[in-house]
Structure 1
C-alpha cells in the first residue's frame, strides 16, 4: 500500500512540475529588447591539455597485465614525446617548429563582450566613439607541467627529407616549462581598424 501511495505521490509531483515547467518562446520587439540590459557577453571556463600522457601511441602492458594503447616516455629521455607544430613561411624555405608540446592549462571566468567607448582615454574616447571587443581576463590561469621547445628545422617532421634531399636537422632555440598559477586582472580591449 505504501509503495502505491509513493508512486501516486511521485506521479502527482511530476505532473505538477511538468505543468509549471512548460514555457513558450515568443517574439520580442526591438523596442522591448532595448529595455533589456545585462544580457550581453560570454563567460568561458576551459581546461585544455596537450599530450598529457606523453609519447607516441603504442600498445602498452600495465603492471596488472592489462593491455591498452597509450604513450609513455618516462623510460627514454632522448625521445621527444610532445605534440609538434611546424610551419613554413615560404616555399623551399626552413620551418619554424613548436616541438615537444605537453601539459595543460585551465582557467575560469574569461569573459567576452562588446563595449562602446565614447569617453575617457585622455579625451581620445570621445573622438573614437565606436565599439570594441572587451576580453575580461580570468582571475588566474593554472599551468600544469606545460612544456614546449621553439626551434627551426629543415623539414616539417624528423621522418621527412628537406626540400634539397638532405637529412633532417633541427636547432632548438629555447625551451620552457611552466607549473603553477599566473594571476591575471583587468581587461584587454581589442580595437577595430579600417572601415567595415
Structure 2
C-alpha cells in the first residue's frame, strides 16, 4: 500500500507542475546582437560498440556463426587505393570497444607546420582522440584481396597479419583531416 500511495503522490505532483503557466518567450536577434554572440563548435562522443560478437546476419556456404570454424565470421571493410588496383581489407572484424571523450571540431590551420600552415590558411576537421579505449575480444585481419567481397567471382585473398586486442589503450593527441581541392 505504501508504494501505491507514493505513486499517486508523484502523479499528483507532476500534474500540478504541468498545469503551471510557462513564461518563456523566444525572440529574434538582430545583426548587432548576433555580432556580440560568441560560441564554440564541436561534438563530444562516448560509445560502447559491439561488432559481430556471435556472427553476422548472413549465413551461407561462406559466412556463418563465429563458433563454426568452417565458416567466415565478422564484418569486412574494403577500400581500393587506385581505380585499377587491388583491394586492401579489414576482414573478420568482431569484438567490442568502448571510449569516452572522442571530440570532433573544426579548426583553422593558419600557422605552424614549418610555415606551411600560413600558406594553407583553411579549416580542417580535428578528431580529438579519447583518453582511454577499452577493447574486449577485438579481432580483425589486414589483407590484400582481388575483389571487394569474398563472394565475388575470382576472389583471392592474402592475409597480411591478424590482430587480437584485449584491455585498455591510452590515446593522446589529435588527428587532423585536411580537405582536398580548392577552397
TM-score between both structures, scaled by the size of structure 1: 0.65
CA separation of 1:10 and 1:183: change in aligned 2, threshold 3 A? closer
Tell me, yes or no, if structure 1 residue 172 matches structure 2 residue 159. Answer: yes
Distance 1:137 1:189 in 2: 11
**Residue number in structure 2 paired with 1:29:** 30
- Alignment: residue pair count: 172
Tell me, yes or no, if structure 1 residue 188 matches structure 2 residue 172. Answer: no
Distance 2:114 2:79 in 1: 41
Distance 1:116 1:94 in 2: 36
Distance 2:42 2:125 in 1: 10
**Residue number in structure 2 paired with 1:73:** 66
Q: CA deviation at 1:174?
A: 0.9
**Residue number in structure 1 paired with 2:17:** 13
1:1-196 residue pairs with structure 2 within 5 A?
10-16=14-20, 19-20=21-22, 23-54=24-55, 72-74=65-67, 76-86=68-78, 90=83, 94-118=86-110, 129-162=121-154, 169-192=156-179, 194-196=181-183
Stretch of structure 1 that moved more, 171-180 or 94-103: 94-103
Unaligned runs of 5+ in 1: 59-70, 163-167
1:144/1:179 contact within 8 Å kept: yes
Q: CA deviation at 1:11?
A: 3.5
Q: CA deviation at 1:55?
A: 5.5
Give the 3-state SS of the residue equivalent to 2:16 in structure 1.
helix
Q: Deviations over 1:141-193 (max 9, x none)?
A: 2222111112234455554431xxxxx54322211111122112233334445
Distance 2:181 2:57 in 1: 46
CA separation of 1:30 and 1:180: change in aligned 2, threshold 3 A? farther
CA separation of 1:138 and 1:31: change in aligned 2, threshold 3 A? farther
Q: CA deviation at 1:123?
A: 6.1
2:66/2:74 contact within 8 Å kept: no
TM-score between both structures, scaled by the size of structure 2: 0.68
- Indicate the structure (1 or 2) with the bigger Cα radius of gyration: 1
Q: CA deviation at 1:82?
A: 1.3
Unaligned runs of 5+ in 2: none
CA separation of 1:120 and 1:32: change in aligned 2, threshold 3 A? farther
